[in-house]
Amino acid sequence: MSLKRRRVRLWLRRGARRHDAVRILRAERLRRVPHGHIRLNHLEALGLAIAWIASLSGCGLLLGDGSDAVATSHLGESSANAFGSPGLGNNPSDEPDEADDPLAPELGSDAGNLRFSLTGTNAAGDRLQDRPTFGASGCLVLGEGCIPLTFPDGCNAAEDLIDIVVLADTIRAVSCTTPPDQATHIIKATAEDATVHQTTNAVGVAFNHGPDEAAVGGSLVVNGNMLSVVGHGADTTIIEGDVVLDGNRTRLRDVTIRGDLEVKRNNISVHRVNVEGDLIVRGNASVVTRNVVFGKLEVEREGGGHILVDNQIRGSDLIDLPENACALNTRFTDTPLTGQERAQADAVRCTAP
């Protein structure tokens, strides 16, 4: 091989890693990914790469918000796994510059944080703020540390509505719900009962109704698995009858139910739902947070692993769950409480198993 050809090949080899990294990041940022993958934008990947490099040298990282909390050296590898993408390598020259791909970050930005909801308590048992704070690598700032987020299978962390549940500064659950404008299965307004059949799986389900009409005039049964069922807000999307969640790993969010809600299967999440009847939790490992229940809230003891946090309940003063899975639930008498009223409300007690 001639000297000139050897020089050209050496030059290409040195430049390949950098340009390939930029090209891959652009492609990852712009494409829509299927369920089970997470779209990664430029600054997220850059943060993950920096954290991973820091872990190799045993040092910590100062968080991007300028706080004194330090991300420990193990965060790089964990965060990379959580985001479904490996680091770029341990050579700083492999990291693309901002000028190469000036795409705005989503995770950690003001606009991105509006998709995230934080519910739960710190180590002292005090209520956490509603909006989470993220570190440079995408980890969740809790107390003096920064904990990597692990998203469930099928979660699109770049676009989904994400509810995070924390108890005593420990992440207990992360739920991802497809926004209504991205749903692929639409329930058209009806005066009758409605069913999402078992053949419908792993998609977003939304409602199409006018501003003054019920989304479902009767009852709703959801039989499919891994579904996001989301309304346009609890004050807007109304289901006149009962709702039965009869599929595993279903998420229900942002609706009002005039009748009862039965959580019948496993790994179900219910967030920001008004239930004018009773809420009955069966099965295993379901998460129920930030709901308003005008009737009773009952947990079937044959199941296990449920988490109930920050619910307002009129018809119950006791939840049959241990305190490490039950917190911030309050009692109201006539109308749901807001603001400081909640802080002064009577707690719904939790029992040991």
Considering only residues 293 and 57, tell me which one the structure prediction assigns the higher pLDDT. Answer: 293
* Region of poorest pLDDT, from 22-26, 49-53, 184-188, 290-294: 22-26
Q: What is the pLDDT of residues 302-346, one digit of tens each?
A: 678 999 999 999 999 999 899 889 999 999 999 998 878 888 889
What CA–CA distance (Å, rounded) separates 101 from 95?
11
Give the number of residues written for the chain. 353
DSSP letter string over 146-210?
EE---PPTT--TTTSEEEEEEETTEEEEEEEE--GGG-SEEEE-BSS-EEE-TT--SSEEEEE--
Residue carrying the six token digits 């549940």: 165
Which residues, 6 or more positions from 229, have their beta carbon under 8 angstroms from its beta carbon? Answer: 196, 205, 206, 222, 250, 251, 252, 253, 255
Considering only residues 201 and 19, tell me which one the structure prediction assigns the higher pLDDT. Answer: 201
Element (H, E) at 111: helix 110-113
Query: Cα–Cα distances in Å, from 207 out to 101, 114, 128, 185, 265?
Result: 37, 22, 32, 9, 22
Using left for φ > 0, alpha for ψ between -120 and 50, and beta otherwise, residue 80 falls in alpha
Residue-level pLDDT at 47: 52
Q: Classify residue 203 by burial, with Cβ atoms within 10 Å: 0-12, 13-18, 19+.
A: middle
Collapse the DSSP code of 223 into the 3-class scheme (helix H, G, I; strand E, B; otherwise coil) and give the result: coil
* Region of poorest pLDDT, from 84-93, 114-123, 157-166, 241-250: 84-93
Tell me 323's DSSP state. Answer: G
Residue-level pLDDT at 1: 54
* Region of poorest pLDDT, from 82-91, 196-205, 299-308: 82-91
**pTM of this structure:** 0.69
- The domain ranges of the chain are 32-88+105-177, 180-350
